[in-house]
Amino acid sequence: MAKKQAIKRRGRPVRLADHALDKQQIVNSAVALIDRDGLEGFSLRQLARHLGVFPTALYWHLPGGRNELLGEVAATAFQNVAKPFKAGDDWTVWLRELFRRYRTSLHGHPNIAPLLGAQLVSNSGVNPKLVEQILPVLKVAGFSGIRSRTSSTVR
């Protein structure tokens, strides 16, 4: 089995020959750096240095730049919070479990928590993905007159 050989090019960071960069690797590294250093101490340059690539390489995988990356970071850190609401589920139990999972994620990623609020509410209002997950629960709970841009009014 051949040993991994480091490639050194003019002024470029050292990378392993079989080391391929992908979007999930970038996001996971960003989560780790933000957890360690906080959001204020995080930068794309620092992330690129950590991954051993030029900062521009990050844009190949995340064309939206820092904002897209931070959205992916929030989604990754809180990916297990919202479980689907199924017909016949008790909405009070579902909400209680939702908030427990949310609290667990907050404790696991306290430096990422400020990103979540920014991702839930965008310039155009509440995130449609969140609304689509919450609407069935609100309907069972008896709320009416709530409407999202992607669905009809809950009655």
| CATH hierarchy code of domain 6-76 | 1.10.10.60
Q: What is the pLDDT of residue 10?
A: 59
CB-based contacts of 150, cutoff 8 Å, min separation 6 = 128, 131, 132
The arithmetic mean of pLDDT across residues 132-144, rounded, is: 61
DSSP structure class, residue 65: H
Instruction: Report which of 22, 16, 2 is spatially closest to residue 52, judged by C-alpha positions.
Output: 16
Q: What tokens appear for 91 in the block?
A: 């909405």
Cα distance between residue 27 and residue 23, in whole Å: 6
Q: What is the pLDDT of residue 119?
A: 53
Q: How confident is the model at residue 108 (pLDDT cuts 50, 70, 90)?
A: confident
Beta bridge partners of residue 125, listed in sequence order: 122
> What does the mean pLDDT of the chain come to?
75
Q: The whole model's pTM is what?
A: 0.62
Q: How confident is the model at residue 35 (pLDDT cuts 50, 70, 90)?
A: very high
Per-residue model confidence as pLDDT tens digits over 41-58? 899 999 999 999 999 999
Task: Name which of 28-37, 39-48, 77-86, 121-130 the model is least confident about.
Answer: 121-130
Q: Can you list the alpha helix ranges (DSSP code H) found in 10-147?
A: 23-37, 44-51, 55-61, 65-77, 91-108, 113-120, 128-141
Domain coordinates of the chain in residue numbers?
A: 6-76, 79-141
Q: How confident is the model at residue 129 (pLDDT cuts 50, 70, 90)?
A: low
Flag whether pLDDT at 17 surpasses 60.
no
State CA 134 to chain mean position distance: 18
